[in-house]
Amino acid sequence: MAKEPRPVEALSIWEDARAMLTKARAEGIETAHERLQQQTPHCKFCELGVSCRNCTMGPCKITPKAPRGVCGADADVIVARNFGRFVAGGSAGHSDHGRDLVEVLESIVEGSTSDYRITDEAKLRRIAAELGVTVEDRSTMDIAAELIDIFYADFGSRKKEVAFLCRVPAKRRELWDRLGMTPRGVDREIAEMMHRTHMGCDNDAPNTLIHAARTALADGWAGSMIGTELSDVIFGTPQPSMSHANLAAIKKDKVNILVHGHNPVVSEMILAAAREPALIAEAEAMGAQGINVAGLCCTGNELLMRQGIPMAGNHLMTELAIVTGAVEAVVVDYQCIMPSLVQIAGCYHTLFIDTAQKARFTGAVHFDIHPHNALEQAREIVRMAVQAYARRDASRVQIPGEPVNIMTGFSNEAVIAALGGSLDPLVQAIAAGDIRGAVGIVGCNNPKFQQDSMNVGLAKELIKKDILVLVTGCVTTAAGKAGLLLPEAAEQAGPGLRKICGALGIPPVLHYGSCVDNSRILQLCAALANALGVDISDLPVGASSPEWYSEKAAAIGLYAVASGIYTHLGHPPHILGSQTVTDLAVSGLEDLVGASFFIEPDPVKAALAFDLRIRAKRKALGLGE
């Protein structure tokens, strides 16, 4: 029997989401919320992580009566192996994205593309010098060529460690060396994770988890960091600017193109094409008042940070954005793109266009986009969207609400510039207790939670306690819609944070970018630790992914913890079937790496836990509470 649909109020805290969920139901369109109901109750064995399909003697599942799989693996081994592969999947996603940026830079250097160029030469030279490349008296292209080799080598296996470990405090590097956690090469650690979890290899859960951490560190300090740094080099380093967020980013009278996915390589070209006068004229000839590009998920974050395009929504808004009936095209690259979007687009005049060979969707229009043809293909896509405008059914258009303004563009470079050229004022503000600490709130939506209730709830609680919040990924849109990405939100902060934000004209919640841009937060933590002469685990900082869902979020969480950052999750990964693995995650890691995970579904309680942690860390540093 079909289950009663849950009231829309229970599904999301947002009016725009509720309005579109109501419209979807009226139009007979199914969303992730309905599918979650169909999928519940979930398989208990999978939920606990105690089912294994790693060979054909199985599949096996662990029960009190059958405590070992056919090969003899127990719950600890099976849970650790499953979690290791989960993390490898996430690390692969971010890192393969990073590699795509290296390939674009290579195309620029080789001269095989004129669509992309090096926008921030100074940053390229700065990174190169940091990595030991000679920069004096050399052309930018020459330096770039050498940097490309270094980054390709970071994906390989012949190095002792990935290049950006030069940013990591010495104490942390020694610790990783001692534990066998030093990431050597992105592909190497991912491949080794797959190897170790083959039947009959690594059958010691803690040992498997150490390698999972190493795999995650390869993501954070190499794959993702390369992605962030090269995106800045190619598309420009973000600077503070104003934009807006929510479904009102979709404009009634314009040709609406939503970019979705993660990598700016394609979405930047879509935006460039959409800004060309000839295509705008075509749109006007169709009766539209221009072309509007708005973002979803992380490719939206990338364009928001650098180009100020508005955010239509985060993960659970992606289906609902199409339900407005006013979207001409959804153009996707990869990751977090629900295959259901193809069906929902099919209920409207909306074109669903995929652009990456590694992320094809049955039923999509496919464009094979490469550096050499990107802009020309993007023009073709924009032209198709313009033509689709003629097929829009005005009677089905409903765009809820008013846009909420947001401030974006906080790269570390921008923050340091705002501070007058160095991190010293931030260090002083932390020492004085005006900013007691900082927490990065990152990651996703998950239909298991009321959308954005925790993402927003936690941010609000933390700023009250004079804890600066940095957001990335899908938490960006959540914080933005709640008005927290505006300097005025400082009124909701504690007195110290309010004072600092007021003096600098910045919000108490800073938009730090997309999910690969969590590497910006890693870099900031490392720089703060180096400035204070301590390890990252000594800092009064934390990380949180309240409503996470993806393998990538697990990789982020694990590299944060392994880097020494106390990390909150709103719900656990599929590990509870092993006491050993669970204990390690929530306490044992503390002894090993100076940080652990904590699981807490209540944002108020999570904020209290951060408060306690930050208090203790401040005390240990000889600062006031």
Binding site feature residues: 43, 52, 55, 60, 71, 262, 298, 336, 444, 474, 515
**Residues numbered 187-216 forming contacts with ligand SF4, rule: CB under 6 A:** 199
**Residues numbered 280-309 forming contacts with ligand XCC, rule: CB under 6 A:** 297-298
* C-beta of 50 vs 225, nearer to ligand SF4: 50
* C-beta of 283 vs 471, nearer to ligand XCC: 471
* C-beta of 203 vs 544, nearer to ligand SF4: 203
Binding segment for ligand SF4 among 55-63, 101-109, 529-537, 573-581 (CB under 6 A)? Answer: 55-63
Residue-wise DSSP of 18-40: HHHHHHHHHTT---HHHHHHHHP
Residue-wise DSSP of 467-527: EEEEEETTHHHHHHHTTTTSGGGGGGS-HHHHHHHHHHT--SEEEEESSTTHHHHHHHHHH
User: Taking Cα atoms as reference points, which of 309, 467, 328 lies closest to residue 386?
Assistant: 328
Question: With CB cut-offs between 5 and 8 Å by kind, which of ligand SF4, ligand XCC, none does residue 54 bind?
Answer: ligand SF4
Burial code of 114-151, b = ≥16 C-beta within 10 A, e = fewer? ebbebebeebbbbbbeebebebeeeebeebbbbbbebb
CB 230 within 8 A of CB 102: yes
54 binds ligand SF4 (CB under 6 A): yes
Binding segment for ligand XCC among 201-209, 325-333, 550-558, 561-569 (CB under 6 A)? Answer: 550-558
CA distances to 110, 173, 217, 531 from 169, rounded to whole Å, are: 35, 7, 14, 10
> What type of residue sits at position 610?
F
Q: Where are the strands (E) in 12-128, listed by range?
A: 51-52, 60-61
CA distances to 88, 301, 419, 585 from 472, rounded to whole Å, are: 21, 8, 21, 23
Binding segment for ligand SF4 among 53-61, 290-298, 366-374, 440-448 (CB under 6 A)? Answer: 53-61
Residues of each annotated binding site for [Ni-4Fe-4S] cluster: 262, 298, 336, 444, 474, 515
**Residues numbered 63-82 forming contacts with ligand SF4, rule: CB under 6 A:** 69-71, 73, 78
Binding segment for ligand SF4 among 50-58, 82-90, 153-161, 396-404 (CB under 6 A)? Answer: 50-58
Residues of each annotated binding site for [4Fe-4S] cluster: 43, 52, 55, 60, 71
Per the rule left: phi > 0, alpha: psi between -120 and 50, beta: everything else, 119 is: alpha
Question: With CB cut-offs between 5 and 8 Å by kind, which of ligand XCC, ligand SF4, none does residue 384 bind?
Answer: none
Of 124, 226, 322, 515, the residue at the interface with ligand XCC (CB under 6 A) is: 515
* C-beta of 70 vs 135, nearer to ligand SF4: 70
Question: With CB cut-offs between 5 and 8 Å by kind, which of ligand SF4, ligand XCC, none does residue 59 bind?
Answer: ligand SF4
In angstroms, give the least distance from the CB of 191 to ligand XCC. 23
Please count the other Cβ atoms lying within 10 Å of the Cβ belonging to residue 368: 11
Please count the other Cβ atoms lying within 10 Å of the Cβ belonging to residue 355: 29
What does the DSSP 8-state code read for residue 14? Answer: -
Q: Where are the strands (E) in 162-313, listed by range?
A: 241-245, 255-260, 291-296, 311-313
CB 176 within 8 A of CB 143: no
4-43 footprint of ligand SF4 as x/- string (CB under 6 A): ----------------------------------------
Binding segment for ligand SF4 among 36-44, 48-56, 118-126, 216-224 (CB under 6 A)? Answer: 48-56
Question: With CB cut-offs between 5 and 8 Å by kind, which of ligand SF4, ligand XCC, none does residue 607 bind?
Answer: none
> Which residues, at least 6 apart from 506, have a Cβ–Cβ distance to it below 8 Å?
240, 407, 410, 418, 487
Per the rule left: phi > 0, alpha: psi between -120 and 50, beta: everything else, 544 is: beta
Number of H helices, E strands in the chain: 27, 16
325 binds ligand XCC (CB under 6 A): no
Question: With CB cut-offs between 5 and 8 Å by kind, which of ligand XCC, ligand SF4, none does residue 70 bind?
Answer: ligand SF4
Distance, in Å, from the CA atom of 479 to the CA atom of 404, rounded to the nearest integer, reads 10
**Residues near ligand SF4 (CB under 6 A), total:** 14
In angstroms, give the least distance from the CB of 85 to ligand SF4. 12
57 binds ligand SF4 (CB under 6 A): yes
| CA 98 remoteness from chain centre | 13
552 binds ligand XCC (CB under 6 A): yes
CB 416 within 8 A of CB 596: no
Please count the other Cβ atoms lying within 10 Å of the Cβ belonging to residue 339: 11
Of 25, 30, 36, 58, the residue at the interface with ligand SF4 (CB under 6 A) is: 58
Distance, in Å, from the CA atom of 315 to the CA atom of 326, rounded to the nearest integer, reads 19
407 binds ligand SF4 (CB under 6 A): no
Strands 241-245 and 404-408 turn out to be antiparallel
Of 85, 244, 315, 481, the residue at the interface with ligand XCC (CB under 6 A) is: 315
Question: With CB cut-offs between 5 and 8 Å by kind, which of ligand SF4, ligand XCC, none does residue 52 bind?
Answer: ligand SF4
550 binds ligand XCC (CB under 6 A): yes
Binding segment for ligand XCC among 23-31, 129-137, 205-213, 547-555 (CB under 6 A)? Answer: 547-555
**Residues numbered 448-507 forming contacts with ligand XCC, rule: CB under 6 A:** 473-474
Distance, in Å, from the CA atom of 594 to the CA atom of 101, rounded to the nearest integer, reads 33
Residues of this chain that bind ligand SF4 (CB under 6 A): 52-55, 57-60, 69-71, 73, 78, 199
Residues of this chain that bind ligand XCC (CB under 6 A): 262, 297-298, 314-315, 336, 443-444, 473-474, 515, 550, 552-553
